[in-house]
Structure 1
Amino acid sequence: MTGTTRILPVRTGSSRSARAEALDCILEESTTVSITKFARWKIFWRSPIGLAWMGLILSLAATLIGLQMLLTSTKSNDSSLLGMDLEAQRDYWLSTYQHLQSQNATTMLIPESPQWQALQWLVTADPLAPLQGERLVQRYALACLYFHWDGWLFSTAAAGWMDLVQQAAVSSDGMVTVVAPSEGEPVTTRSRVPLHECQWLGVTCNDQDQVVGLDFQSASFVLAGMVPTELGLLSHLTVLDCAGKSLVGTFSVALPQLQHLNLKGNRLNVFQETWGAWTNLETVNLAENRFEGTLPGSTLAQWTKLRHFDIHTMPVAGNFWQDVVPHWPLIEHIDISLTELSGTIPEVTADGPLSRLKSLYASNTPLKGTLPASLTAATGLIALQLNDITGLTPSSLPSEIGKWTKLETWGLTSPTALMGSLPTEIGLMTSLRELNVYSNRGLNGTLPTELGHLKELQILKVCYTDLSGTVPDEIGTLKKLKDVQFHQTNLVGTVPLGLCSGSLNVLAADCATLSEGIAPQMKCPLGCCDCYV
């Protein structure tokens, strides 16, 4: 104890000497002080301040070790950074690392990681170095994508990412040898490779040379595995197309400017709550992935600019029609076929959600309620497919269907969807190419002669309904018909001769003989029908 005179006790009558007693006392106190100091340091290093200091020390040590490894592994390669002496190169390496680290690029110093390889390429092999600021971050992000996906294969001489860029930089004429795979022998060509990233295959930039689009649909790009977070460094990205690849896991990249996203046909399996921040999205295709569970309605509801949504063929559930659709006032295309998305199609008002609808595909879904008559307010509708749905409540077709003058495909094959007859206003739907009301047992009445106005009609399926009467001769005047199915109905009489003289691939009717002495329900001239009992 500093500044204090210590008086050591001496025990009388003891067999031990006073010196020994004094030494024991000193050792005891020293041990207590040491333990106390250790405990205090232990508490300090576990405190937030201590952890921050430890992180700073480790970060500095990792930086120094990593940069030294970069220097050691690349000191013989000085093809880039032309005109820079060794000290200038080291300064560039350090400034590059520090700038990228400030952008949350935190794994650059793990040897052989994609981030490590990207940094190494930037500071030792990039023919456009030195770069700085946003341009440096952009080029680093693209390099990370390349190395993360193991340097994807190319099938075109217009490629030009990383290795080809480096080859072109050291080539005397800027030309490189590109080997393109083919069905026979690989094709070898000499090609000029662009050095600027805005000219690389699949990359689109704006007038400020900022990357705004990545199109990886080409077979040149072999993408598999997780999506690297460095993709989020492309802060101006508005278009991302990774359809038909093998991406797995989650997609947790922050892309606030994204407008068009196509991830169809991958293996992604987790919805992210952070997707709600993508408020500029206009088109989204998540179809044929491996998402499951409940669709995060509150997240998707924030995509208020959405026009196109496709998530077909996935076992996702949720009350889609009530929790999500009312928040999409601009929606034009919906495809939720082969999902478990449920609910009732809401009423449609002028300029409200679904009023701009052009196509709706919801086949094989647990759709409930009735098909609202107000859906005819969507006068721009081109395709309506609601096939194989068992939960609908029967309703009559309104006369307002005549407003669907642009409708080309109409499929409504639910056993319980329709009742009543086909309105004569169906003749106003002059763009119609397919009319399929297969299996609607509640559909009755006669076939309207106005069907003869549908000159573009190619497919007409009214089988397995309770339609009655005869087939109007006007249908026989439709020259583009390819598939006509009248069987398993209450239709009688003779099939129009015009159908037999046309170029039909399928013409089915109830023209088989039931038993001896009993005439078939329908007659088919020239024997041109596939006859059913």
Structure 2
Amino acid sequence: MPTSERWTMGVREQIEELVGMDKVGPGAPADTPYVKARDWLLEEDPMQLQKDSPFIVQRYLLALLYFSADRDGEWRHCAPSDDEDDQECKAVVYDQEGMPYNDTFARMLSGASECDWYGVRCPGGDNFVREIEMIENNMTGTLPSELAKMPVLQRLSFIMNELEGTLHAEFGDMKHLIDIEFHYNKFSGTIPDSFYNADNLIRLNLGGNMLDGTISPKIKNLRSLVGLFTFDNAFTGEIPKEIGELDYLSYTRFSYNEHNGTFPTEIGQLTNLIELYSQWNKFTGTLPPTIGELTYLEDFFVNNNEFRGTLPIKFYSMESLTYFYCFDNSFSGTISPLIKRLTNLERFIIRRNYFTGTIPA
């Protein structure tokens, strides 16, 4: 029940318009994350934003994220505190190179600017949220689809949590989004079609979940994509030939799925590719000769599949190749003396195949 004059100051109406009357209007269940976030913003938020504040939307949505993804009440980092003297916290975060370091933040739902809350970044200088990164935070529950309504959000990173549910189609419609990192959670279902329209997306990491279905030929629409990671799920089907149209693609990990069929010859068009991880699938056929066009490829893992035939002569043109694992397949033939061209090669693991002859010195 309303207990504050703020209920009649225009803030409530903005929330109702944002998420819908069915979720926060009269008669909406009181124990939902939507209502809890609304009541917090109207009744408990020490900042007490006025109706003309441009930050009402993002502050409400971040509160909604907390109430949606804290089902078990055990966030590891910077959960809210009722102690007025305990409104700051220390947490491990990661720099652009992925190196961890300790930093100090305001706790979630504290009276500080949401830009100072743990995991929230506003690097544009205008106090609008552009990045949310919460790694190994023991987050449980679901992500609210309404996060897509943050006007300039560019990055969503929730690595190594316990988040569930399907991938929201709304995330694919975010025109500023360049980075999705959802790996190592419990997401299920298929990749929404809308994800293939996110043409500004640079990195899509969905590894280590319970996703299924296939990778759509519409993948060709992700023209800016540099990293595509779908490993350790239950994806099936072939790698679509349209992947060859991704000019900037440099890192791919399809490993530990149920993919089948042959490698498309168009994979040779990915001339910026550095990593190709495809181990532990059901790929068949031979390696296409076009693989030799991947002169920047360093890591090439195709072990534990059903490949056969010989290594194509152009294989020995991959002058940057450092690691090649093809064990547990049905490759045959001999290893060419041209292997001497691969001067960067450190690991060449070919056991449990049908190769004959010796490896040239």
Question: Partners in 2 of 1:204 and 1:334 — Cα distance?
Answer: 27
Contact preservation (8 Å) 1:343, 1:366: yes
Task: Check 1:383–1:90 CA distance in 2 against 1; reply closer, same or farther (3 A cut).
Answer: closer
Task: Check 1:235–1:191 CA distance in 2 against 1; reply closer, same or farther (3 A cut).
Answer: closer
| SS of 2:19 mapped into structure 1 | coil
Contact preservation (8 Å) 1:240, 1:260: yes
TM-aligned CA deviation for residue 299 of structure 1: 4.6
Larger Rg: 1
Contact preservation (8 Å) 2:250, 2:272: yes
Which one has the bigger strand percentage? Answer: 2
| 1:150-229 mapped onto 2 (5 Å cutoff) | 150=70, 153=74, 155=76, 159=78, 163-164=80-81, 168=84, 175-176=85-86, 195-205=112-122, 206-218=124-136, 221-229=137-145
| SS of 1:264 mapped into structure 2 | coil
Question: Partners in 2 of 1:212 and 1:340 — Cα distance?
Answer: 35
State the one-letter code of the partner of 1:380: Y
**Identical aligned residues as a percent:** 20
Task: Check 1:419–1:279 CA distance in 2 against 1; reply closer, same or farther (3 A cut).
Answer: same
Which one has the bigger helix percentage? Answer: 1
Partner of residue 447, structure 1 = 359
Cα RMSD (Å): 2.9
TM-aligned CA deviation for residue 138 of structure 1: 0.6
In the alignment, does 2:252 pair up with 1:334?
A: yes
TM-aligned CA deviation for residue 253 of structure 1: 5.0
Within the candidate set 111, 126, 146, 1:230 is matched to 146
State the one-letter code of the partner of 1:438: R
TM-aligned CA deviation for residue 384 of structure 1: 0.4
CA deviations over 1:7-50 (Å, ceiling 9, x no partner) = xxxxxxxxxxxxxxxxxxxxxxxxxxxxxxxxxxxxxxxxxxxx
| 1:363-402 mapped onto 2 (5 Å cutoff) | 363-390=279-306, 392-398=307-313, 401=316
Question: Partners in 2 of 1:435 and 1:224 — Cα distance?
Answer: 41
Unaligned runs of 5+ in 1: 1-68, 76-85, 169-174, 182-189, 450-533
Partner of residue 104, structure 1 = 19
| 1:18-97 mapped onto 2 (5 Å cutoff) | 69-71=1-3, 75=4, 86=5, 89-92=6-9, 95-97=10-12
TM-aligned CA deviation for residue 409 of structure 1: 0.8
Task: Check 1:432–1:440 CA distance in 2 against 1; reply closer, same or farther (3 A cut).
Answer: same
Task: Check 1:133–1:233 CA distance in 2 against 1; reply closer, same or farther (3 A cut).
Answer: farther
Question: Partners in 1 of 2:252 and 2:269 — Cα distance?
Answer: 12
In the alignment, does 2:38 pair up with 1:119?
A: yes
Question: Partners in 1 of 2:126 and 2:269 — Cα distance?
Answer: 36
State the one-letter code of the partner of 1:142: L
Contact preservation (8 Å) 1:314, 1:339: yes
| SS of 2:189 mapped into structure 1 | coil
Question: Partners in 2 of 1:70 and 1:430 — Cα distance?
Answer: 73
TM-aligned CA deviation for residue 404 of structure 1: 2.9
CA deviations over 1:106-151 (Å, ceiling 9, x no partner) = 3123223222222222222223222435411010100111122338
Question: Partners in 2 of 1:301 and 1:133 — Cα distance?
Answer: 40
State the one-letter code of the partner of 1:284: L
| SS of 1:274 mapped into structure 2 | helix
TM-aligned CA deviation for residue 167 of structure 1: 5.2
Partner of residue 346, structure 2 = 433
Question: Partners in 2 of 1:447 and 1:113 — Cα distance?
Answer: 65
Task: Check 1:318–1:447 CA distance in 2 against 1; reply closer, same or farther (3 A cut).
Answer: closer
TM-aligned CA deviation for residue 309 of structure 1: 1.5
Question: Partners in 2 of 1:400 and 1:225 — Cα distance?
Answer: 46
Q: Aligned residues, how many?
A: 335
CA deviations over 1:433-469 (Å, ceiling 9, x no partner) = 211111231x3333322xxxxxxxxxxxxxxxxxxxx
Partner of residue 290, structure 1 = 210
Question: Partners in 1 of 2:217 and 2:35 — Cα distance?
Answer: 38
TM-aligned CA deviation for residue 388 of structure 1: 1.9
Task: Check 1:445–1:215 CA distance in 2 against 1; reply closer, same or farther (3 A cut).
Answer: same
| SS of 2:121 mapped into structure 1 | strand
Question: Partners in 2 of 1:411 and 1:150 — Cα distance?
Answer: 41
TM-aligned CA deviation for residue 203 of structure 1: 0.8
Within the candidate set 298, 303, 307, 2:222 is matched to 303
TM-score by length of 2: 0.82
Question: Partners in 2 of 1:135 and 1:191 — Cα distance?
Answer: 19
Within the candidate set 179, 184, 189, 1:260 is matched to 179
Question: Which structure ranks higher in relative contact order (CA pairs < 8 Å, sequence separation ≥ 6)?
Answer: 2
TM-aligned CA deviation for residue 275 of structure 1: 2.3
Question: Partners in 2 of 1:191 and 1:289 — Cα distance?
Answer: 29
Contact preservation (8 Å) 2:292, 2:314: no
Unaligned runs of 5+ in 2: 92-103
Question: Partners in 1 of 2:179 and 2:231 — Cα distance?
Answer: 17
